[in-house]
Amino acid sequence: MEILLLGTGSADGWPNPFCRCVSCRSATEVRGQTAALVDGVLLLDCGPEAPRAAARFGRSLASVRHILFTHGHWDHVGPAAMLMRHWTGTGEPLDVVGPPSALNQCRDWVGPDDPVRFVEVSPGDDVRVGDYRVRVLAAAHGADIGGDAVLYDLESVGGRIFWATDTGPLPEATHAAVAGAGFDAVFLEETFGMHTGHGTEHHDLPAFAATVDELRHSGAVVAATDVVAVHLSHHNPPEPELTAVLADSDARPGRDGEILGAVPIRSLILGGARSGKSAHAEALLAGQVAVTYLATGGTREGDPEWAERIRLHRSRRPHTWRTVETVDIADTLLTAETPLLLDCLGTWLTARMDLHRVWDDGGLDGVHADIDELVSAWRACPVRAVAVSNEVGSGVVPPAESGRLFRDLLGVLNARIAAESDEVVLMVAGRPLKLPAQ
């Protein structure tokens, strides 16, 4: 089961675009309204921001056959999506599942001949949509819409997840229903941080910890379960502090655009300067608690701008990630036991060219041998690995011979690593474009 998080924020997102609080000013991730795309065919909630989020993350919704709404609040139900779909003229069937507060908003947005099946559900229902078994669970939420909000226990041959947004501390009936489930992932809302006096049907951090503890006690959450906090708002502390608090529950904050489940083993992320390639690479590994970050840039004495770049990179990584500054990376790739992020191939190549004194006419044999060794290690790497590299071949031809040589060698290196990768993504203006295989 592959889950793409289209959004992990509250109704107003995080940061709130109208706010200048400390939490909003310090935010390094932009989070939209919480929703997810499962296996490319099933949407978990579909608020007004979800369709455009899918496009930003390079995903089409043309194959969606099921939409599961949790409740009728405006950030979870964007009925215009039904009209967008109608305008394509598709004749494919669509299941729209949810409580009355959600479905009643959608009915008028469906054409008279659209093959849409509305399935009203309530807690205790057990329905089948396509390849998925859907157990409908009670939420503590939505008194203003009739109190019919629900949560979903979603299962297929690819895994089992718990979609628990929006809700306050779970009703006893829900805890009983999921006992022993051993979920692969739990997406639990956490809106209010340390603001415990909010008086709403949402989780704050202490309530979140208590809910996770109870889920662990019942066997719904086990050691292998990925516990992801969603519906995050600016009521939370800045992300480094939030990450540390959630880690006490073996949980973590979700990130928009991250993918959980069936993901490639080796990914190459290409892009120009400030294209968002490093941030995208980090998001691909956001679901991993322990990651080895192979930083090949090193330090530059007397260069405050470079030092600030390094500081910003480090500040957005989870504190559980380990940073290793090295250009001798082949052995690390071969012996790794935790996921790796290599950033970046361009600075690695520069270091190898310096080592072999290429600029002093030391010849290229040593560099080509290093490239062969790196490509071989990348191919044999036994863990999830993401590499970042610069795309420098699309600009003006460098005026100096050294610049042209570096450009050409990096192009060769990128092509060889791409040939041994399961996916290659080109970042353009912060947007990922997945490149087709040869």
pLDDT score of 360: 83
Question: Low-confidence residues of the chain, pLDDT below 50?
Answer: none
Provide the domain count of the chain: 2
* Cβ-contact 130, 65 below 8 angstroms: yes
pLDDT score of 158: 77
* Cβ-contact 296, 342 below 8 angstroms: yes
For the stretch 208-222, pLDDT in tens is: 999 999 999 999 999
CATH no. for residue 126?
Answer: 3.60.15.10
Domain finish residue from 229, 260, 291: 260
Q: Is 212 found in the same domain as 72?
A: yes
φ/ψ of residue 82, rounded to 5: -65, -40
Residues contacting 32, CB < 8 A, separation 6+: 6, 7, 8, 9, 13, 49, 50, 53, 256
Q: Is 92 found in the same domain as 9?
A: yes
pLDDT score of 319: 75
Q: Is 346 found in the same domain as 234?
A: no
Q: Is 28 found in the same domain as 161?
A: yes
Q: Is 104 exposed, middle or buried (0-12, 13-18, 19+ CB in 10 A)?
A: middle
Q: Is 182 found in the same domain as 36?
A: yes
Q: Which residues are catalytic?
A: 313
pLDDT score of 310: 59
Q: Is 247 found in the same domain as 277?
A: no
Domain finish residue from 209, 243, 260: 260
Q: Is 340 found in the same domain as 214?
A: no
CATH no. for residue 397?
Answer: 3.40.50.300
Count other C-beta atoms under 10 Å from residue 140's C-beta. Answer: 18
Q: Is 285 found in the same domain as 256?
A: no
Q: Is 424 found in the same domain as 280?
A: yes
Domain that holds residue 330: 266-435
pLDDT score of 300: 53
Residue of 314, 399, 398, 323 lying closest to 306 (CA atoms): 314
Q: Is 154 found in the same domain as 125?
A: yes
Q: Is 270 found in the same domain as 254?
A: no
Q: What is the pTM of this model?
A: 0.65
Domain finish residue from 260, 284, 299: 260
Q: Is 275 found in the same domain as 206?
A: no
pLDDT score of 8: 98
